[in-house]
């Protein structure tokens, strides 16, 4: 039975949207860092950018897990049968 419109479902939907926004933002930052590293000719700058990209990638992975978890919680609360992504 669908529970869409229930206050608890709406709160979980908002959390899912927020988690996706964070993921999307971090993906954009990570992509920018990777593009910048490609065109950087200074070795020291490249090392710093690579380190930042590596840190950002870890944040992207954590944000992806957070989004998938929020997505699953919302789907379960709404009674929506979503296919799992990476087991979530």
The domain limits of the chain are 7-78
Q: Enter the pTM of the model.
A: 0.86
Q: What confidence score (pLDDT) does residue 2 get?
A: 57
For residue 36, give the DSSP letter.
H
CATH architecture of 7-78: Up-down Bundle (1.20)
SS3 of the chain: helix, strand, coil, percent, to 5: 80, 0, 20
Q: What confidence score (pLDDT) does residue 23 get?
A: 99
Q: pLDDT tens, position by position, for the chain (88 residues)? A: 457 678 888 999 999 999 999 999 999 999 999 999 999 999 999 999 999 999 999 999 999 999 999 999 999 988 888 888 888 8
3-state SS assignment for residue 57: helix
In this structure, the number of other CB atoms found within 10 A of the CB of residue 8 comes to: 11
Q: What confidence score (pLDDT) does residue 87 get?
A: 82
């Amino acid at each position: 039975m669908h529970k869409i419109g229930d206050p608890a479902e709406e709160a979980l939907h908002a959390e899912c949207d927020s988690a996706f926004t964070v993921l999307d933002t971090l993906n954009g930052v990570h992509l920018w860092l990777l593009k910048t590293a490609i065109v950087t000719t200074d070795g020291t700058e490249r090392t710093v950018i690579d380190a930042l990209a590596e840190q950002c990638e870890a944040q992207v992975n954590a944000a992806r897990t957070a989004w998938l978890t929020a997505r699953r919680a919302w789907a379960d609360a709404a009674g929506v049968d979503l296919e799992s992504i990476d087991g979530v």
